[in-house]
Amino acid sequence: MFAVCAKRTARRKIGLKNTVEIRWHGRGGQGAKTAALLLADVCFKNGKHIQGFPEYGPERMGAPITAYNRISDDELRVHSNIYDPDFVVVVDETLLEAIDVTAGLNPEGAIVINTTKSKEEIAKHLNGYAGKVYTLDARKISEDALGKYFPNSPMLAAIVAVSGVMDRDTFLSQMKESYQHKFAKKPEVIDGNMKALQVAFDEVKP
Amino acid sequence: MSIKERLSGNEAVAYAIKQINPDVMPAFPITPSTEIPQLVANYIANGQIDTEFIPVESEHSAMSAAIGASAAGARALTATSSCGMALMWELLYVAASNRLPIALALVNRALTGPININCDHSDSMGAKDAGWIQIYAENNQEVYDNFLQAFRISEHKDVMLPIMVCQDGFITSHALANIELVEDERVKAFVGEYQPENFLLNEQMPMAVGPYAVSNYYMESHRAQVEAMENAKQVILDVAAEFEKISGRKYGFFESYRLDDADYAVVIIGSAAGTTKDAVDELREEGIKAGLLKLRVFRPFPADEIAEALKGKKAVAILDRSETFSTQGGPLTSEVCAALYKRGVNVRAFSYIYGLGGRDYTVEDAKEVYYTVKKATESGEQLSEPVYIGLRSREDD
């Protein structure tokens, strides 16, 4: 499987015009797929053409999973996975050792990683990636805001901040609406999630 | 005014079912179609529709219950995938031969083995000879639109055949994307109420369903099914024309994308058509006259129309997402080649297999097909067919 992906990465150099492509790496149960769907959702509300989709293997907690987003001003017709993303989000830093997370990543783009490690420590896992590297301690943000470890909300805010697909106020107000809908039966978690988003949006840094 | 939304393919089908509010839905869950009965069950539990949901213990029972309900005069449907459909197998034929207009939301998934949950068309293509109408979709919009049209086609008095509304597992079923929905009142007026001519619970006109047919009757029964399938062609076009009036979206047997003046054509089914469209546009910019025929209706097979559309092309590549193990390529290849040959359309046709068990199909893969076909046509070179797209070799590993 990996050999085919590598070959395809080398061939795929055209890119869609007016389209931002994002690849998510996470582990089953961390909510990377949910985050990709939430990002698609919030971009839809912002008037974009969107795709949010997971790549499924054998489903189990803890297994590496990949999810994708395309966000565009134009109609999206392509239905393949994304091999040369503009942005990559790494929800779980232990994946850095297992997966070539920067494969095909646009050097003009960026990678956002949930980690407490330094840039120097991280760099050795990025295959010499020349683009921008952003880090975020999503565990601390989540535990402070929610009292539990749900890295996907902070990472969602981080990728919105880094990719610039929409501005801070629009993003936060639309996410509030989404959470009110999503958590209609447990409204007590809305404030914590909103706080996690705000802190992550402001704290993510190169 | 249409409603702009974002839904996955499964959500889109469930929403269509909610708008139709059918009488009976027996179902048994299987990946990747599980969300459809799950969401419909939610609609029922929330009191939004009054469909009778039957949680059965297997797909064999799901189709059996749908047959019973439909024979009784109810509008019935179910949803399944892959091995689930395989377990319905004998009942698929029973539904069709009893002329019961059941709808099946099929989310295409590879058949085992090796065991695999991802998309290919081996489930529905295996059932292509079961007597069901089959309609395929490129994306969530099309599967929603197809589902709204399904009962109008299947319940038409000249048709009375079950209908399979197919979409690509995960690729469209689990992908969130933009969609335009038709308002509830318009859907209701368009789909209408099911008024069966003959049904089991009609005490004025007692009837038998599914009796034994001796040799004197069996062949006539099949011939009648073929005639119904032939009739379905006009009904499919008429329903599409009416649907265009409420939705603004146009449907036929297939979509021709930059095909009229094309030298090289790809014939393909499902989500891969969208990817191929991007390839066609890029090839056109490179000066290659590429075109696409995206087949929507596989049963009945629109052979005349396909032959006409492909007449005069320098070459055609037919891309199948399932194997037949005939060593001659997939089912779409066989049917298209037969259509061309029988109508004296002498176009060189190449057989391709792609996307088995969810193997990804990219814009580059599509472009490579056109490059290869163009080169082989110009040089007269023979390809080793069927050509497998994206197949790994030992050297790759």
> pLDDT by residue (tens digit) across B163-199?
999 999 999 999 999 999 999 999 999 999 999 999 9
- pLDDT score recorded for residue A6: 38
Report pLDDT digits (tens) over B309-340: 999 999 999 999 999 999 999 999 999 999 99
Section B212-231 average pLDDT: 97
pLDDT at A18: 86
The answer to whether B266 and B317 are in contact (CB under 8 A) is: yes
Give me the amino acid identity at B305.
E
Asked if residue B75 has pLDDT above 90, the reply is yes
Is 60 exceeded by the pLDDT of residue B274? yes
Residue recorded with tokens 């929905």? B181
**pLDDT classification of A2: cutoffs 50, 70, 90:** very low
* Percent residues over pLDDT 70 in chain A: 91
Structure tokens at A12: 């795929």
Q: Enumerate domains of chain B plus CATH numbers.
A: 3-247 (3.40.50.970), 254-396 (3.40.50.920)
Give the residue from A117, A40, A46, A37 showing the smallest Cα distance to A76: A40
Place B371 in a pLDDT band, splitting at 50, 70 and 90: very high
A43: domain CATH number is 3.40.920.10
Q: Which residue in A has a C-alpha nearest to residue B172's C-alpha?
A: A79
Which of A7, A51, A77 should be substituted to probe chain B, the one whose Cβ sees the most B Cβ atoms within 10 Å?
A77
| Average pLDDT of the residues in B281-294 | 98
What's the CA gap between A112 and A94, in Å, rounded?
14
For the record, the structure tokens of B129 come out as 């000879």
Burial of A190 (0-12, 13-18, 19+ CB in 10 A): middle
Count the helix, strand and coil residues of chain A and give each as a percent rounded to the nearest 5.
40, 20, 40
Residues B56-85, mean pLDDT to the nearest whole number? 98
- Residue in B175, B360, B397 closest to A51 by CB: B175
Measured between CB atoms, does B169 come within 8 Å of chain A? no
The mean pLDDT value for B18-29 works out to 98
Best residue in B178, B356, B367 for a mutation probing chain A (most A CBs within 10 Å): B178
Contact B363 A14 (CB under 8 A): yes
Query: Is A184's Cβ below 8 Å from some Cβ in B?
Result: no
Residue A185 vs residue B101, higher pLDDT: B101
Q: Do B363 and A51 touch (CB under 8 A)?
A: no
Section A163-185 average pLDDT: 92
- Closest-CA distance, B392 to chain A, in angstroms, reads 7
Statement: residue B50 has pLDDT above 70: yes
Number of domains in chain A: 1
pLDDT of residue A59: 66
Residue A5 pLDDT more than 50?
Answer: no
CB distance A40–B275 less than 8 Å? no
Structural domain range at position A105 = 2-203
pLDDT band at A16; cut points 50, 70, 90? low
pTM over 0.80: yes
DSSP-assigned letter for residue A17: T
Greatest extent of chain A over all pairs of C-alpha atoms, in Å: 48
Contact A80 B275 (CB under 8 A): yes
Q: How many percent of chain B have pLDDT more than 70?
A: 99
**B361 part of contact set with chain A, CB < 8 Å:** yes
Q: How far apart are CA B47 and CA B373, in angstroms?
A: 55
Residue B397: pLDDT band (50, 70, 90) is low
Q: Examine the pLDDT at A3 and tell me if it is beyond 80.
A: no
Interchain contact A81–B (C-beta under 8 A): yes
Which has the minimum average pLDDT: B7-21, B144-158, B382-396?
A: B382-396
Which pLDDT band, with edges at 50, 70 and 90, does A205 fall under? confident
The predicted-structure confidence for A61-106, as pLDDT tens digits, reads as follows 788 999 999 999 999 999 999 999 999 999 999 999 989 999 999 9
Mutate to test the interface with B, among A7, A56, A79 (most CBs of B within 10 A): A79
Dist. CA B294–CA B255, nearest whole Å: 5
Q: What is the distance between the alpha carbons of residues A184 and A179, in angstroms, rounded to a whole number? A: 8
- HEC string of chain B equals CCEEEEECHHHHHHHHHHHHCCCEEEECCCCCCCHHHHHHHHHHHCCCCCCEEEECCCHHHHHHHHHHHHHHCCCEEEEECHHHHHHCHHHHHHHHHCCCCCEEEEEECCCCCCCCCCCCCHHHHHCCCCCCEEEECCCHHHHHHHHHHHHHHHCCCCCCCCEEEEEECCCCCCCEEEEEECCHHHHHHHHCCCCCCCCCCCCCCCCCCCCCCCHHHHHHHHHHHHHHHHHHHHHHHHHHHHHHHHHCCCCCCEEEECCCCCCEEEEEECCHHHHHHHHHHHHHHCCCCEEEEEECEEECCCHHHHHHHHCCCCEEEEEECCCCCCCCCCHHHHHHHHHHHHCCCCCEEEEEECCHHHCCCCHHHHHHHHHHHHHHHHHCCCCCCCEECCCCCHHHC
Chain segment A96-151, per-residue pLDDT in tens: 998 999 999 999 999 999 999 998 899 999 999 999 999 999 999 999 999 999 99
Q: In this complex, which of B177, B360, B390 lies closest to A76 when CB atoms are compared?
A: B177
Give the nearest partner residue to B178 out of A11, A44, A53, using CB atoms.
A44
**Residue A9 above 60 pLDDT?**
no
Which position has the token pair 């709808």? Answer: B103
Each residue's pLDDT tens digit, B92-127: 999 999 999 999 999 999 999 899 999 999 999 999
Is the pLDDT at A52 greater than 70? The verdict is yes
